[in-house]
Amino acid sequence: MITEQSAQFYAKSASNHDRIYDRPERKDDLAAMRGHVAETLRGHTVLELACGTGYWTAVIADTADKVVATDINPEMIALGKLRALPGDKVDFKVADAWNLPDDIGSYTAVFIGFWWSHVKREEQERFLAQLRSKVGDDMFIVLLDDAYVEGSSETVARTDMEGNTYQIRIAPDGERYEIPKTYPSDSALRKKLASSVREIKIVRLEYYWLLTCRLK
C-alpha cells in the first residue's frame, strides 16, 4: 500500500504540488500529454484516483462527460475545489484509492495520474484486483506518469530487493521523507500488467508516458 510517509508528505506539500509542471524543459511534452489525455478520455465518465490538486482533472473535464476526482488528502481536495471547475461535470471527493467505498459509482474509465509510480511493484497486482472489485471487469484504465530524466528528475536514493526505487523528498516544514518512486520501462510495464489487464497501449515521450488498457 502507499506508505503513510507518502501520504504525510503530499498533505504537507499540497500547495507546492504543481511546481513540477513549471519546469521549462518539460513544457512541450506536458502540452502533448495534455492533448493525449483529453482525447483518450473524450466522452467518458471518469473516476480519477489520487487527483492531487486537480491539475489533470481540469484537463479531463474539457472533453469527458463527467469526472469524479478522489484523493486521500483533504488538503489536495480543497485545492482542487478552488479551480472552480463546472459543478455539473466535476465532483471532488476524499477517498483512499486502496479502499474505495462500495458506492463509488458507475464509470466507463479510471484515470491514475502520477500515482502508479508510488505503488510498490509487489503490490500492483493486488491493487488492480481490489480496483476491479469496485469498478468491475473490462474497465478502461489510463495510467499517466513520468520517466526518469537525468538532471530533471529527483535523484534515486536507493533500490530495494523487489526492485522498487526510492527518493528523498523534503516537505515545506523541512522534514525529510523517503518516497517510493519507480520509473518502469515499456517492457517492464507490459510484463507486470499482463496478468491483470489486456489491450495494453503505451505512448512514451522523453519526460512522460501514457498507458491505456482494460481490466481482465
Summarised one tens digit per residue, pLDDT across range 48-70 is: 999 999 999 999 999 999 999 99
Are the beta carbons of 164 and 57 closer than 8 angstroms?
no
pLDDT-derived band at 176, boundaries 50, 70, 90: confident
pLDDT of residue 23: 86
116 pLDDT more than 70 = yes
DSSP code for 156:
P
Positive or negative, the Cα torsion across 148, 151, 56, 165?
positive
The cell 483512499 sits on which residue? 96
pLDDT of residue 15: 54
81 pLDDT more than 80 = yes
**Dist CA 138 CA 118 (whole Å):** 24
Q: What average pLDDT does this structure show over 194-199?
A: 96
pLDDT of residue 74: 93
pLDDT of residue 178: 86
